Amino acid sequence: MGRYWYFKLLTYTSAALAIAPLHKIGPVKTGSMCKIKWKVLKWIYNAIETYCGQSGFHWDHNHGGKIEGEAVQVVWNKYISRKAHHTGIKLGNDILRSFHNNGWEFYEQIHNIFPSGGAQGANVF
């Protein structure tokens, strides 16, 4: 594994070859596609971890933000409209939109890969 929890391209290419027999629809996956998918999974994980670290914000892994009530909805909408400053991906907290009242099925698996959090910062790729 390279620095910052990213793998070398050969690893992504090997992953693409490993999942090729399982492929049913869409384009055949490449190493570059696997790299992008890993980046997005890590981005979602970091967004959830950042949200969980906010004072007064609720999160559980079954119900996500569990947004109930008008006042909480206003706070949620404001939060997800912010641009994230901790990621190279140009979208912001909007990645959490689908976790309004739903958890993320891959959280535990990703957490087991980097339990102390994924690397963040301007020079992380």
Domain ranges of the chain: 3-113
Do 40 and 89 contact (CB within 8 A), yes or no?
yes
**Amino acid, res. 52:** C
pTM (2 decimals)? 0.77
Q: How many CB atoms lie within 10 A of CB 5?
A: 16
Q: State how far the Cα of 63 lies from the Cα of 58, in Å rounded to an integer.
A: 10
What Cα–Cα distance (Å) separates residue 74 from each residue in 2, 39, 64, 98? 40, 29, 16, 16
SS3 for 50?
A: helix
End-to-end CA distance of the chain: 13
Taking 70 as the threshold, does the pLDDT of residue 5 lie above it?
no
Taking 80 as the threshold, does the pLDDT of residue 120 lie above it?
no
Q: State how far the Cα of 113 lies from the Cα of 94, in Å rounded to an integer.
A: 24
Looking at the DSSP assignment, which residues form a beta bridge with residue 60? 64
Q: State how far the Cα of 8 lies from the Cα of 88, in Å rounded to an integer.
A: 18
- pLDDT tens digits along 65-105: 999 999 989 999 988 888 755 555 556 788 999 999 999 99
pLDDT at 92: 77
pLDDT at 58: 85
